[in-house]
Structure 1
Amino acid sequence: MKKTALTLAAFAVMASGAMAQDVVRIGTEGAYPPWNFINDNNEVVGFEIDLGNEICARAELTCEWVLNDWDTIIPNLVAGNYDVIMAGMSITEARSQVISFTTNYLPSDPSAYMGLAGTDASVIDNGVIAVQSNTVQAGVVADGTADGLEFPTPDETISAVRNGEADAVLADKAFLTPYVEDSNGELEFIGDDFYPGAGTGAGIRQSDDELRETFTNIIEEMKADGSINAMIEEWFGDGIAKF
């Protein structure tokens, strides 16, 4: 698998929105495996890193990866601190009012509730549900009858369930599955899966039509030649939809 070292330049938040003709700065969270995360060698890796690097290679562009907290990832794109977001972001109508999206590079994947073993499914409607703020899952909880407990990072939502602050967490099922599998029975899924959003895509400023078209064309090319499915298989295994 490809790995991109996190240099000091990659951490830097650029003040200008200008982009060199052959350089694309891609903002990612680095905290949401297997989409994007930091490995033991302090490298940013994951499905989206491999995909972004391949898109840039096919477009003959140079990728520069920029880490940014999830809560400000859209405002900093709009401000010009990077050119693209690839951070497990679901394509939604609300977000499309602020930024534009490429075609999706992951089909709509299921969200799921996870709690301590034996937790009754009634908590989905009547309990306290931990979510990462500014996610589609946070919107689902806000529109429901349960009490939402929002956190800036996904790891904090897991901790909230384990320490009793929340009855369950709602997140992408592919993110939660390793926690369930590695918990030795401590954690389990609750209730039914469901499908929010229209899949995962790259966020791009609404004014950057050429860049959005370039990314979209290559994503569609990679769907057609099977290379995106190969990356999905590598990072997510069999438990997620493919093209």
Structure 2
Amino acid sequence: MSASVWAQDNNILRFGTALGYAPFEYRGSDGQMTGFEIELGNAICAKLQKKCQWVETEISTMIPALKSRKFDAILASIGVTEARKKQLLFTNKVHVGHSRLIARDDAGFSSDTASLAGKSVGVEQGTNVESFAKKVWAPAGVKVISYSNQDLAYSDLRSGRLDAVLTGEVQGELGFLSTDKGKGYRFAGNAIENPLLGTGESAIAVDKNNQQLADNINQALKELHADGTYQKIARKYFPPSIDIYGQ
């Protein structure tokens, strides 16, 4: 099936995304969508000579929305997992990162399953961290609470309604811990590795029948790396100490 069947207009590329995940995608002080992946998506559209349309939704509804053709691709720090690969076609990687647990400095527990028994942990709905927490931690007595977006989870962490939040390492560091709201909090334990959390890579997802669009996006990504645009955008949002792409 050609890409033209999926897009409402051949001159438009519609990306579905979810905000509240700084520095990847969030709403700036001017009320406009911004972030690393928003700028990268706009650069992809420019390479493909298409106009970008951004459709804001929630992570939990993104896959059904893609399948019902409300947009053409998902660009929202979506982790590559075996379960998702059964439903979606992923492009080459956009960035890398592991999952980490955030808690108060004096929390006294780590990311070890046994130490979390009886604790309340917030996760974002529809994410691989939610799937992991519900399948691995919940049966061990962890109270896993899902939120429609990451900011709501952080709010409940700060208010004391949560003991911890499980999220992406880079987002947790730059979107929370390094901000004023994150003072008094830290990563608890080491990075978590589990097949349910995927490969550690995030990519752009398209419908499994839309190979042409995936190929076009991959070509655009290749060119953005080659001409330095990817690196320029990355330097705007991430310090030199963070290798967002990996090797």
TM superposition score normalised by structure 2: 0.84
**Where do 1:183-202 residues align within 5 Å?**
183=181, 185-194=183-192, 196-198=197-199, 199-202=201-204
For 1:34 and 1:42, how far apart are their aligned partners in 2?
15
Unmatched segments (≥5 aa) in structure 1: 1-15
**Structure 2: which 5+ runs fail to align?**
none
Structure ranking higher in strand proportion: 2
Q: 89, 93, 110: which is aligned to 1:104?
A: 93
Contact kept in structure 2, 1:101 and 1:202, CA below 8 Å: yes
Partner of 2:238: 236
Return the offset for 1:74.
1.1
Q: Secondary structure at the match of 2:232?
A: helix
The answer for the alignment partner of 1:13 in structure 2 is none
Give the aligned partner of residue 128 of structure 2: 136
CA RMSD of aligned residues (A): 2.0
**Equivalent of residue 177 in structure 1, options 173, 176, 184:** 173
Instruction: Identify which of structures 1 and 2 has the higher relative contact order when contacts are C-alpha pairs closer than 8 Å and 6+ apart.
Output: 2
Distance 1:194 1:231, change over 3 A: farther
The DSSP-based 3-state class of the residue aligned with 1:150 is strand
Percent sequence identity over aligned pairs: 24
What is the distance in 1 between the residues matched to 2:182 and 2:227?
A: 39
8 Å contact from structure 1 (residues 17, 79) kept in 2 = no
Cα distance in 1 between the residues matched to 2:31 and 2:164? 30
Deviations 1:160-187 (Å, cap 9, x if unpaired)? 2222222110101222224222247421
- Match of 1:55, SS state, is helix
Q: SS at the partner of 2:93?
A: coil
Contact 1:78/1:99 (<8 A) preserved: no
What is the total number of aligned residue pairs between the two structures?
Answer: 227
The aligned counterpart of 1:211 is 213
1:37 matched residue in structure 2: 26
User: Hey, what's the Cα distance between the residues in 1 that align with 2:126 and 2:133?
Assistant: 11
Deviates more, 1:44-53 or 1:17-26: 17-26
Q: 1:1-243 maps to which residues of 2 (within 5 A)?
A: 18-106=7-95, 108-122=96-110, 124-125=112-113, 126=117, 127-142=119-134, 143-144=136-137, 145=140, 146-178=142-174, 179-181=176-178, 182-183=180-181, 185-194=183-192, 196-198=197-199, 199-241=201-243, 242-243=245-246
